[in-house]
Amino acid sequence: MTGTATTTLKTQIDEFNDGFTAQIGPRLSGVFADEQAALTASGVPDAAVTVGSRLPDASLVAPDGTAVALADALGAGGAVVVFYRGSWCPYCNLTLKHYQESLLPTLRERGIELVAISPQTPEGSELSVANGSLEYTVLSDPGNVLVRQLGLLTEPSADARNAHTDLGFDVADSNADATGDIPFPTVIVVDGDQIVTFVDVHVDYTTRTEVDTIVAALPGV
């Protein structure tokens, strides 16, 4: 496996956006566009995790409700850790499925784990797994404890949450702590000692890290 995806995430997201914009109409599309512009203008937080840091210990939750230590999920050969917003987020679902199809085979060949983490309830994690037929580890970070330690915490704007309500959902209903707090979509690569060797934080949640970029950042490449 080369790790080269036949269709990029950007292409898939652009295609999704065309249909989504037409579906929700100009008013809601404008709300989300304003939110994305504000996030981009603010940039990556100064406190965000950087290369050379060591991932802290964390107690996470599996879809079946059992506790899982982050260190146990990462494994000895290094890992790719994906922070995502939740199963309610179409960009997250698209990304996680794409990583299943185009990234996971390469990681398996190299003995590197793939772990996806969100602030959802275990039931939300189960839905993420089902949405993408995911075969890799999916965990919950209740209360965004790990996300806070890594400086990756954000939340939808008030206008965006009102738009979510218009679309029939609320982020707080999916989160384990019943808040609207979510992580910036982020990919972190760590080596076998849990040292961060690559970080890609996306403040605009409609953009994500391409598979080729991740593969190029893997330990030993």
pLDDT at residue number 3: 44
- Looking at the domain assignment, is residue 3 inside a domain? no
Stretch 167-181: mean pLDDT? 95
Residue 75 domain-assigned?
yes
Q: Give tens-digit pLDDT for 38-74.
A: 999 999 999 999 999 999 989 999 999 999 999 999 9
The CATH number of the domain holding residue 116 is: 3.40.30.10
Instruction: Kindly indicate the confidence band of residue 221, based on its pLDDT and cuts at 50, 70 and 90.
Output: low
Domain holding 187, by residue range, is 9-216
The answer to whether position 221 is within a domain reads: no
Domain count for the chain? 1
Residue 118, φ and ψ in degrees, nearest 5: -140, 170
Q: 17 pLDDT exceeds 70?
A: yes
Which of these, 167, 169, 180, lies nearest to 27 by C-alpha position?
167
Task: Classify residue 148: in a domain, yes or no.
Answer: yes
Calpha distance 84→153 (Å, rounded): 11
**Per-residue pLDDT tens digits for 194-216:** 999 999 999 999 999 999 999 99
Residue 1 belongs to some domain of the structure: no
Q: Does 4 reside within a domain?
A: no
- The two beta strands, 182-183 and 79-83, are unpaired
Q: Is the pLDDT of residue 94 over 60?
A: yes
